[in-house]
C-alpha cells in the first residue's frame, strides 16, 4: 500500500477506511470494530476517517470503545476526524436548524469531544467539514493553529472547499492546510477539470476523495450512461480478476495528484478486498474509456 506524506509530520495510507457507517452494522461490538480495523491494517490501510457527526454523533464513540478494548491498535493507526457541521439531532434537542459553526469556541469544544469519544490523546488530521459562509477566517485560523501547537491535533485540512475558500483560510494560518477532502468519482469528476484538484496539485498536496464509488450509484444506476460505464468497468475487472469496485477506485489512484479515496463498507469480506484496487493497472486509454463512458461523450 502506497503511503503519502501530508506535511512534515503525517503519512497516510493511500486508501483510507471510512467509518461513517460504523453504527449501521448489525454488530457494533468493540470486538467487531477491532476486527474491521485489523482487516484494514493487514492490507496496509492504516488511515481511518471519522467525523463528529457520523452515525448521528455515534461513530466516534464506537471507535473509542474498540480502542479502549484494544489500545495497542492506536499507534498503528492515523485517525482523521472533522468538525463544523451542526446536525439536527435528538442529541441536541435545542438546535433549530442544520448549520455550520467555525467559531474558535465550537472547534475547540468539538475537538475535546472527539478526543474523549475516540479515547485518544490526539487527532492525526482534523478537517473543517464544510466551508462556512459565516467563517471569520482570522478566528478560525487562529483556533486551528492553536490546536496544532497544543498537540491535540497533528495536522489540519478542510473538506468540500473551493480554491478561494482555501486561500481565505490559509491566509490566516501559520500551519499549512494539508488536504481537501472532496467528492470525487467517475460519476462526479468535475473537480478534475474545474480547478479544485489542479489547485491542490500545484501545491504538491494530495486530495482525499469521498464517495469514490458515487455512493453505490455506479452499481445501481440504471440509466444508459451508468450501464455503459458498468460494462466498461466489468470488462477491465474481468481482465484483471478484480471486482468493478477495485477498477473504479483504481481510476482515482491513477491520477498524478495522488488521490486518497475514502472507502467505507461494513462487510468484512469487502474490507479484506479494499487493497485490491492498488493492484489494478490502468493504461491511459483505459482511464479515458472509463472517463468518457461516465461523461457520456468523448473528450473535445
Binding region for a second copy (CB under 8 A): 95-101, 103, 130-131, 133-137, 139, 160, 162-165, 167-168, 171, 189, 192-195, 198-199, 201-202, 254-256, 284-285, 287-289, 291-292, 298-300
What are the CA-CA distances from residue 165 to residues 131, 135, 180, 233 (Å)? 7, 10, 11, 35
Smallest distance from a second copy to CB 231, Å = 14
Q: Do the Cβ atoms of 79 and 51 come closer than 8 Å?
A: no
Per the listing, cell 468497468 goes with 233
CA distance 226 to 274: 22
User: Given the complex with a second copy, which of 118 and 232 has the nearer CB atom?
Assistant: 232
List, as own/partner pairs, every contact residues 21-29 make where C-beta atoms lie below 8 angstroms and the sequence separation is at least 24, other chains included: 21/54, 21/55, 21/59, 21/264, 21/265, 21/266, 22/54, 22/55, 22/58, 22/59, 22/62, 22/63, 22/266, 23/54, 23/55, 23/56, 23/58, 23/59, 23/62, 24/55, 24/266, 25/266, 28/62
Specify the residue, 47 or 211, whose C-beta has the smaller distance to a second copy. Answer: 211
Nearer to a second copy (CB atom), residue 83 or residue 115:
83
Distance CA 129, CA 200 (A): 17
Q: Least separation, in Å, of the C-beta of 273 and a second copy?
A: 26
Catalytic entry in 54, 92, 164, 291: 54
C-alpha cell at 238: 474481468
By beta-carbon proximity to a second copy, the closer residue of 72 and 297 is: 297
Active site residue 54: yes
Shortest CB 134 distance to a second copy, Å: 6
Q: Give min distance, CB of 275 to a second copy, in A.
A: 23
Q: For residues 44 and 176, which CB has a smaller minimum distance to a second copy in the complex? A: 176
Q: Closest separation between CB of residue 139 and a second copy, Å?
A: 8
Which active-site residues does the annotation give? 54
Amino acid at each position: 500500500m502506497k503511503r503519502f506524506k501530508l506535511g512534515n509530520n503525517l503519512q497516510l495510507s493511500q486508501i483510507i477506511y471510512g467509518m461513517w457507517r460504523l453504527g449501521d452494522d448489525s454488530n457494533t461490538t468493540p470486538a467487531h470494530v477491532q476486527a474491521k480495523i485489523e482487516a484494514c491494517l493487514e492490507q496496509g490501510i492504516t488511515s481511518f476517517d471519522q467525523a463528529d457527526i457520523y452515525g448521528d454523533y455515534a461513530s466516534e464513540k464506537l471507535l473509542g470503545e474498540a480502542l479502549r478494548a484494544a489500545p495497542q491498535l492506536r499507534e498503528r493507526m492515523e485517525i482523521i476526524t472533522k468538525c463544523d457541521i451542526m446536525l439536527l439531532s435528538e442529541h441536541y434537542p435545542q438546535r433549530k436548524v442544520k448549520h455550520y459553526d467555525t467559531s474558535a469556541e465550537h472547534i475547540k469544544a468539538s475537538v475535546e469531544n472527539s478526543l474523549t469519544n475516540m479515547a485518544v490523546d490526539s487527532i492525526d488530521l482534523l478537517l473543517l467539514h464544510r466551508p462556512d459562509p459565516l467563517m471569520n477566517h482570522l478566528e478560525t485560523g487562529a483556533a486551528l493553529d492553536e490546536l496544532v501547537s497544543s498537540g491535540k491535533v497533528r495536522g489540519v485540512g478542510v473538506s468540500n472547499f473551493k480554491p478561494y475558500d482555501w486561500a481565505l483560510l490559509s491566509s490566516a494560518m501559520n500551519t499549512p492546510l494539508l488536504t481537501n477532502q472532496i467528492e470525487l468519482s467517475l460519476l462526479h469528476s468535475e473537480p478534475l477539470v474545474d480547478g479544485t484538484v489542479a489547485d491542490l496539485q500545484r501545491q504538491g498536496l494530495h486530495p482525499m476523495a469521498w464517495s469514490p464509488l458515487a455512493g453505490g450509484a455506479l452499481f445501481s444506476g440504471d440509466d444508459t450512461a451508468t450501464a455503459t460505464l458498468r460494462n466498461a468497468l466489468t470488462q477491465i475487472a474481468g481482465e484483471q480478476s478484480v471486482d468493478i469496485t477495485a477498477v473504479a477506485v483504481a481510476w482515482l489512484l491513477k491520477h498524478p495528484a495522488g488521490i486518497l479515496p475514502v472507502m467505507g463498507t461494513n462487510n468484512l469480506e469487502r474490507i479484506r478486498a479494499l487493497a485490491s484496487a492498488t493492484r489494478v493497472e490502468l493504461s491511459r486509454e483505459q482511464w479515458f474509456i472509463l472517463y468518457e463512458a461516465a461523461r457520456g461523450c468523448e473528450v473535445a
